[in-house]
Structure 1
């Protein structure tokens, strides 16, 4: 029997391609850093795969690395991109532009507290819950416009995607860190189940395979 309240929509949350700061392990936050040539190539490859899933809409962070990534998918699908400031990466204040080693050296206690799951304003910036407060509604607003069975591609940033997934799955913020990070130009897939959104794929770089078994 079909659940009358279930629309079988799908949300693909796609991280941008590689940047120079990614290679240097610098905390980007909402600093506007462009894709490297490698990152642009990653986006072109991933776009061809994602286009085969027949997306209905694309919404992206307005930072250039996400916008350029989204542009590759728009080029092969003909879809227009909606840009949303709410999908930007976490603002991390004084951490932005620092390497991982510099953050550990200068803000070791703050970093450790964050990794323990404590609410921390990294570098005086946003809390992870505040990122989810601005990003998740953007995703849901665009998902609500989908037809039944439709697919939305959200092009954003690793931290923002993790907090958004945690919020949409109804996880306590303490457990968001249990969702591992996304590699450049990889994505996660949420599907609409009988009890709400569920995580179907995480940090994927190939096309989803059907789930064949008792948990389908």
Structure 2
């Protein structure tokens, strides 16, 4: 099902006529980005800065296993406290590595250009939070992304704006007083 989801997403995103594609260098993101690359004929720039949050000792554990071994740490993380889950990365560290890469790639676009970023749910959420200027304790409010869904950001008069989140269809233009 994942490959079909990636192909469907690639067909929809290709309609936006992207100018550049950047992606995590991890296998699932590489495969997803390759589907869009095949349609658009754009090269994909892979970068480890777009990898998913490293969760240390939590990596590969089920929810129940995490709760049994790291219940207090998990509860603190769910309360929004900065936690190195399993000794891994803080969410702010993920944003520190991913957001500058996205900004740099976006700055290289032509006027009104489109950048597609293929990454992982936690990395996307923290990067969006950072780009929007939200305080880290508000990033969880963005919610997660379903597989092969996307968020649409644009530039407004006061910086980055979230136009759509967890979308699975082509974005519709939103007209407002500040457009």
Q: Aligned partners of 1:210 and 1:132: how far apart in 2?
A: 27
Report the equivalent of 1:150: 113
Matches within 5 A, 1:1-216: 38-212=1-175
Q: Following the alignment from structure 2 to structure 1, what is the Cα–Cα distance between the partners of residues 76 and 113? A: 40
Please list every run of 5 or more consecutive structure 1 residues that lacks an aligned counterpart in the other structure.
1-37
Instruction: After superposition, give the CA deviation of every residue in 1:104-161 in whole Å (9 maximum; x if it has no partner).
Output: 2221111110111111000000000000000001111111100000000000000000
Question: 2:26 and 2:89 mapped to 1: Cα distance?
Answer: 17
Going from structure 1 to structure 2, the CA distance change for 1:149 and 1:212 (only over 3 Å counts) comes to closer
> 1:213 Cα shift?
5.2
Distance 1:100 1:182 in 2: 18
What SS class does the counterpart of residue 154 from structure 1 fall into? strand
Structure 2 CA distance, aligned partners of 1:181 and 1:40? Answer: 20
Name the SS of the counterpart of 1:53 in structure 2. coil
In 2 relative to 1, CA 81–171 (structure 1 residues): closer, same or farther, beyond 3 Å?
Answer: same
Q: What is the CA–CA distance in structure 2 between the aligned matches of 1:123 and 1:56, rounded to whole Å?
A: 38
Query: What runs of 5+ residues in structure 2 fail to find an aligned partner?
Result: none
Equivalent pair of 2:157/2:178 in contact (CA under 8 Å): no
Distance 1:165 1:74 in 2: 23
Q: Aligned with 1:82: secondary structure?
A: strand
SS at the partner of 1:40?
Answer: helix
Alignment partner of 1:189: what SS? strand
Q: Cα offset for 1:212?
A: 4.3
Once the two structures are TM-superposed, the CA of residue 188 in structure 1 deviates from its matched residue by 0.3
Q: TM-score scaled by structure 2? A: 0.97
Q: Give RMSD over aligned pairs.
A: 1.0
> Which structure has more helix as a fraction of its residues?
2
The 3-state SS of whatever aligns with 1:105 is helix
The alignment covers a number of residue pairs equal to 179
